[in-house]
Structure 1
Amino acid sequence: MDAEGFLQEEDLEGSWSLMSLLASSLMVFGGAVPYVPQFKEIQRSSNTEGFSTRVCLVLLVANILRIFFWIGKQFEVTLLLQSVVMILTMFAMLHLCCAVQNANQVSTKQHRITDLRFQYFWKWSVFEDYLLCCFGFTVLCAVITLLLMDSEVFVETLGSLALMFEAMLGMPQLLQNFHNRSTRGMSVKMVILWTAGDIFKTTYFIINESPAQFWVCGSVQILIDVAILLQVLFYNQDTRVKLG
């Protein structure tokens, strides 16, 4: 190989490495980006009714499980880092929601984690209760994983559960919109970014030959994202008809 050919091959490898690094960075931080417009919307309106905090619940469970799945089956470190970033993002969203709800005095009764009635689960007024719940869940997962780590069936089941929860990411928001008969207070930008991100990461999973659970999860998420965008069109059209 002559010097010119060697330099061209080296440039090509450098370009591919740079693209790979950019793709990995997008995977790590891209999942958190959609929540920036929703975060700003809640700050602006001082209202949390349009955003389902159960989205945070689903993502926290999914990413905690994914971390333990990584311990049992070490796939790309990029996806492990993505889970850490998502957990921190969800805690930031919950902290804001608690602050806004308490500032508005939405309820005269402060619901706490010590109230074991199911209707108040994940509707607490104090941020520390969410932290405590997640800590308890993490400890439980750690104990079970430690006992069953040698079981390949358990590890694969753990991965499937993590991705099943992640696939249901948009479902709480879909149900909340249906219950409210409105998408008011929900950031449409968030859902558009969900859709773009899910398309990107599903393509990433396929190209990088990640475990099948990952691209199946991504495909389900895309379908739910599209359903929420259809809700935006439907409820906005319904509102225009009533105003007319």
Structure 2
Amino acid sequence: MTVLGTLAGIGMAVGPPLIYADQAYSIVKKKDSSGFSHDVCGVLLIANIIRVFFWLGNRFETPLLIQSLLLIVSQLILLAICLHYKPTATDSSEDATNYAPLSPLPSSPNPQSHSREDSDYLSQPPTANSNNRGSGGLKGLCVGGKRPFEFWQWEGYGSYLEFLAALILTLGVLQIILGRWMWYIDALGFIALSIESTLPIPQFIANYKRKSCYGFRSSTLAGWFFGDAFKTVYFFVRRSPIQFKATAILTLCWDSAVLAQRVMYGANPPREGINQYSSNPIQQEEEERGLRADGEERQFSLQ
């Protein structure tokens, strides 16, 4: 029984971070992260940072703490990969040399399109004017469109690091002030695990908008479903805090929803003729019709 418990603990610690290894490899291989919602990285980073502070007041099992630390590291790497290979709104699927303008160089004559070698992750993102290119813009790549303060829609990797550093600093101050009260510690646990329970939702929305699961690895989905099923059983057998049990069940329900999408939509690319980065295909069709009319008018004037 001790051996099984040890193996289960090792699986809980290293299993979830390894789920995303194949997803990262696939993005690097295809040089395209458009099918994977990088909001998933945000959910895991925020939830596990809060969970670490929850551990300071309620010393749950060490494998779960190690799991949180490994997930933080793995998601920072995956987030950098997603941003690096995020295509621009004007990119065609055949053009694999242009990526999202994480931080175009000031001397660049065309900041809207440049190769990834010119990117500096830690630089400031470009101005708002360079972000709104075309009707779809980069907003079409993000779940939920425009957000207050463009939350988790920043283009510079440094902006994400600054936010996470501010979150850690805030939680550290609150831990010093309120860490002696158990109600605060319990609230941290519920907040951390409630956020983590929403993990499949950004991917669910992205799949629904594109009517396709293209770019989202089946291995990641299998890891979510079977991993969360294993965690649910583990939490009940090991009598983990109620926060872990309740949120594990909720996460498993959302995993089932994404699994249903995989069966319905399949893994084929989105339908041709509809820009996968545009949230309004009708508006895109009208613009294309207008461009054709402009071209005909110019041709007539030349004659």
Gaps in structure 2 of 5+ consecutive residues: 88-96, 102-111, 114-122, 129-146, 273-303
- Number of residues paired by the alignment? 226
Give the structure 2 partner of residue 41 of structure 1.
26
Map 1:97-136 to 2 at 5 A.
97-101=82-86, 104-107=98-101, 108=112, 112=125, 118=148, 120-136=150-166
- 1:129 deviation in Å? 2.1
SS at match of 2:240: coil
TM-score, normalization by structure 1: 0.85
Q: Cα RMSD (Å) of the superposition?
A: 2.6
Question: What letter matches 1:104 in structure 2?
Answer: N
Is contact 1:101–1:125 with CA below 8 Å preserved after alignment?
no
Counterpart check, 1:225 vs 2:255: yes
Question: What letter matches 2:264 in structure 1?
Answer: F
Runs of 4+ in structure 1 off by over 6 angstroms are 237-242
> For residues 152 and 114 of structure 1, what CA distance do their matches in structure 2 show?
44
Deviates more, 1:181-190 or 1:124-133: 124-133
Q: Which has the larger radius of gyration?
A: 2
SS at match of 1:19: helix
Q: Deviations over 1:19-52 (max 9, x none)?
A: 2211111011111122112112111211111111
Give the structure 1 partner of residue 280 of structure 2.
none
Is contact 2:193–2:247 with CA below 8 Å preserved after alignment?
yes
Change (3 A) 1:176 1:142: same
The one of 200, 208, 212 aligned to 2:230: 200
- 1:201 deviation in Å? 1.0
Change (3 A) 1:190 1:145: same
- 1:188 deviation in Å? 1.6
Question: What letter matches 1:204 in structure 2?
Answer: Y
> For residues 239 and 90 of structure 1, what CA distance do their matches in structure 2 show?
25
Give the structure 1 partner of residue 68 of structure 2.
83
Give the structure 2 partner of residue 191 of structure 1.
221
> For residues 239 and 86 of structure 2, what CA distance do their matches in structure 1 show?
43
TM-score, normalization by structure 2: 0.69
Identity %, equivalent residues: 31
Change (3 A) 1:113 1:192: farther
